[in-house]
Amino acid sequence: MKIEYRELLPHESRHYRMIRLESLKVFPESFGANYEESLKIEKFRLQNDIENPVQERFVFGAFDNAELVGICVFVKEEIARGNIYQMYVKQSYQGKNIGFGLIQSVINEAENRFNNIEFFLEVKANNVVAYHLYKKIGFEEVEADIDAKEKSTNKVMKYFKK
C-alpha cells in the first residue's frame, strides 16, 4: 500500500464532506462538532475553501490510490500561529502510520507557505491514541482547556520540531 499525501483538489470537496461526516459518526467523542447537526449543513466552510483555495486554510488528504482515507486541516490563526484540526484516518487504515504521515505533510506544507509558524492542536483528554500520536510527532502539552458545556477537558498541544 502506497499512501499519497496532498492538498485536496477543488473537485474533491464532496469526498471531504463524506469523510468528515464519517469521522463525526464513528468517533463523536473525539470532535467538537456533532454528526446530526453537521448533516443539516448544506455545505461546510472548508468545502468552499477546497473549491476556492486560500493561502491561510487548507485540507490535506491521505489517499490509497484514489480513495480518500484520511484528512487533516490547517488554519493560520495569527501572524505566526496555526492550528491543526479535524485529524482523522478511516478505521480500516488506522495503526499504519498514516496519521503520522498526514500530520507531517500538513506541517511541511504550512512551513513552506509561512515563515516561523508555530503549530497548535487540541485533543480530548480521553483520546489516548491521538494524544500519543501527537507526542510521537513532536507535540507537547502546553495547557488544558476545560469545556464546562461538554464536561470534558481538551489538552492543548504545541509542536516542537525534533
Cβ–Cβ < 8 Å for 120, 159: yes
pLDDT at 92: 96
Kindly tell me the sign of the dihedral angle through the C-alpha atoms of 110, 60, 36, 131: negative
Domain boundaries, the chain: 3-119
Architecture of the domain made up of 3-119? 3-Layer(aba) Sandwich (3.40)
What is the DSSP track for 27-92? -GGG-SS-HHHHHT-SS-HHHHHHHS-BTTEEEEEEEETTEEEEEEEEEEEETTEEEEEEEEE-GG
Tens of pLDDT, residues 88-109: 999 999 999 999 999 999 999 9
**Is the per-residue pLDDT at 143 higher than 80?**
no
Cβ–Cβ < 8 Å for 60, 74: yes
Tens of pLDDT, residues 110-138: 999 998 999 999 998 889 999 999 999 99
